[in-house]
């Protein structure tokens, strides 16, 4: 067990709830730490249900292409906890070291003085402490859950706030309707700070606009103030500042055109006025693992050498819709039978996720995600798939699932998509020997 693991284990014993939305504990601890949230570089704060990480990846790549140093805070991690903290520096920055992270956690734990605290709260406090002590031009700060009461919502004057598409997820914490969930996401909006809003369902947008009106916050809304389209395989972005004709994003899937557009809109609303070449370079360089990531080499890829192996951490109905659309696009270009390998948490809408693949997936193999609470059993996943009309079976592990696929008699060899959870995606990258860097 590493020093960081030992601290996390102690914290879970101290406050066993993994999620307990509140800002009171954060304000208390930040006061003890002499308010690192007031010593940060300018912040772009990002909330939403889907697309937060990809939008941040595009912004980071564009800002770095312009020569800026960019801190990044995201969650969850895929393989190593350190992935949540990227320290800005020349050449793309670096992940925080084990020693730096352990020292920051120890300082936060001492400041907390044994009071109840959630792991995400002390993780966020440690991140803010680290970022406050390293020089950078900007901090890209991702909300963990919701926004209004999320531990990241302690930055009082961000440069820009961003809300990516809002959909039904975490309903037990955020509310049972899009209106309620969007209200929580809109909690990051601040008076005097421009808010950039990606394309939204009507109820979500209405809720966000109500909150903005209360705060007298100016919004820049997709489809109203800025537009992004795919034209002849290129990304075309337009707003009052003009038109950009750009290459297709490196990140795969039609939804990434929208995420890239949100990133451009956010940066054009920010103090950093990037030239077109930096935006173009960023679109081509952005990298975000486990989001429709092609796995072309590694230990797991070797188990299905004739197949095309993809990995995606989508886990809600809208995430499934984006992944299914991407697989349909691939099928149109180069037909292959699609085989799904799926593991999900019991808190997710399995049926809503899988129905996107009805008529598209040839076969599904269900498995359990290891090391997680509230895991959906393979039996339930397989039964749900069968009800939807997808032939299904179960496997005890990802290795067994891929071996079973290698034995299927399919011509040509299948296109395999491993999906359903970011936790499963992390397990896959670790087993394949290709963790994020």
User: What is the rounded distance in angstroms from the CA atom of residue 72 to the CA atom of residue 78?
Assistant: 15
Nearest to 381 by CA among 299, 315, 293: 315
pLDDT attached to residue 15: 66
**Ranges for all domains in the chain classified under CATH 3.40.1190.10:** 3-285
Please write the tens of the pLDDT for every residue from 278-300: 999 999 999 999 999 999 999 99
User: What is the rounded distance in angstroms from the CA atom of residue 410 to the CA atom of residue 422?
Assistant: 28
Q: Name the token pair of 210.
A: 């109500």
pLDDT attached to residue 327: 97
Q: Compute the mean pLDDT over every residue in the chain, rounded to the nearest whole number.
A: 94
Nearest to 322 by CA among 254, 258, 385: 254
Please write the tens of the pLDDT for every residue from 54-78: 999 999 999 999 999 999 999 999 9
Please write the tens of the pLDDT for every residue from 1-39: 677 778 777 777 766 666 777 899 999 999 999 999 999
The DSSP element (H or E) to which 393 belongs, if any, is: strand 392-394
pLDDT attached to residue 16: 60
**Ranges for all domains in the chain classified under CATH 3.90.190.20:** 293-432
pLDDT of 141 above 80: yes
pLDDT attached to residue 246: 98
Nearest to 263 by CA among 162, 143, 356, 167: 162
The residues, any chain, with a CB within 8 Å of residue 86's CB and separated by 6 or more, are: 60, 70, 71, 72, 73, 93, 94, 95, 96
CATH number listed for the domain at residues 293-432: 3.90.190.20
Helices 52-65, 276-285: inter-axial angle, 10-degree rounding: 130
User: What is the rounded distance in angstroms from the CA atom of residue 201 to the CA atom of residue 248?
Assistant: 25
pLDDT attached to residue 168: 75
Cβ count within 10 A of residue 131:
27
Paired with 415 in beta bridges are 308, 338
Please write the tens of the pLDDT for every residue from 351-381: 999 999 999 999 999 999 998 888 999 999 9
pLDDT attached to residue 17: 64
pTM of the entire predicted model = 0.95
As a whole-number percent, the residues of the chain with pLDDT over 70 amount to: 98
Mean pLDDT of the region 251-267: 97
Helices 255-268, 317-333: inter-axial angle, 10-degree rounding: 120
- Residue 238 binned pLDDT confidence (cut-offs 50, 70, 90): very high
Mean pLDDT of the region 341-345: 97
Architecture of domain 3-285: 3-Layer(aba) Sandwich (3.40)
How far is CA 322 from each of CA 51, 316, 365, rounded to the nearest angstrom? 10, 10, 20
User: What is the rounded distance in angstroms from the CA atom of residue 321 to the CA atom of residue 59?
Assistant: 24
Nearest to 371 by CA among 295, 426, 329, 435: 426
DSSP 396-417: SSHHHHHHHHHTS--SSPPEEE
pLDDT attached to residue 114: 87
How far is CA 175 from each of CA 167, 170, 184, 254, rounded to the nearest angstrom? 11, 8, 9, 29
């Amino acid at each position: 067990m590493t020093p960081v693991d030992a601290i996390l284990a102690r914290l879970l014993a101290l406050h066993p709830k993994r999620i307990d939305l509140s800002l009171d504990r954060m304000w208390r601890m930040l006061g003890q730490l002499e308010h690192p949230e007031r010593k940060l570089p300018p912040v772009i704060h990002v909330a939403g249900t889907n697309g937060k990480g990809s939008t941040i990846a595009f912004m980071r790549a564009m800002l770095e292409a312009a020569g800026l140093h960019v801190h990044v805070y995201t969650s969850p991690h895929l393989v190593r906890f350190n992935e949540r903290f990227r320290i800005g520096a020349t050449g793309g920055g670096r992940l925080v070291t084990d020693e730096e992270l352990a020292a920051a956690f120890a300082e936060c734990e001492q400041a907390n003085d044994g009071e109840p605290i959630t792991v995400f709260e002390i993780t966020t406090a440690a991140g803010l402490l680290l970022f406050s002590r390293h020089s950078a031009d900007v901090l890209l700060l991702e909300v963990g859950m919701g926004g209004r009461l999320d531990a990241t919502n302690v930055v009082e004057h961000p440069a820009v706030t961003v809300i990516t598409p809002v959909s039904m997820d975490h309903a037990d914490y955020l509310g049972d309707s899009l209106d309620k969930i969007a209200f929580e996401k809109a909690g990051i909006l601040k008076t005097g700070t421009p808010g950039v809003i990606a394309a939204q369902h009507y109820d979500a947008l209405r809720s966000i606009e109500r909150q903005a009106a209360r705060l007298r916050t100016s919004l820049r809304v997709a489809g109203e103030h800025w537009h992004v389209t795919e034209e002849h395989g290129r990304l075309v972005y337009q707003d009052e500042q003009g038109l950009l004709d750009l290459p297709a994003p490196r990140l795969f899937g039609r939804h990434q055109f929208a995420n890239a557009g949100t990133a451009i809109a956010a940066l054009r609303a920010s103090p950093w006025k990037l030239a077109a070449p930096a935006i173009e370079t960023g679109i081509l360089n952005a990298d975000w693992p486990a989001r429709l990531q092609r796995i072309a080499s590694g230990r797991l890829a070797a188990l299905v050498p004739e197949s095309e192996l993809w990995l995606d951490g989508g886990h809600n109905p809208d995430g499934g819709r984006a992944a299914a659309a991407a697989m349909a696009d691939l099928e149109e270009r180069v037909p292959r039978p699609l085989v799904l390998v799926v593991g999900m948490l019991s808190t997710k809408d399995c049926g809503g996720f899988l129905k996107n693949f009805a008529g598209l997936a040839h076969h599904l193999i269900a498995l359990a995600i290891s090391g997680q609470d509230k895991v959906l059993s393979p039996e339930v996943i397989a039964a749900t798939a069968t009800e939807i009309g997808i032939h299904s079976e179960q496997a005890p592990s990802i290795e067994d699932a891929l071996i079973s696929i290698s034995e299927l008699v399919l011509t040509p060899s299948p296109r395999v998509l491993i999906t359903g959870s970011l936790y499963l995606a992390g397990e896959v990258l670790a087993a394949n020997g290709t963790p994020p860097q």
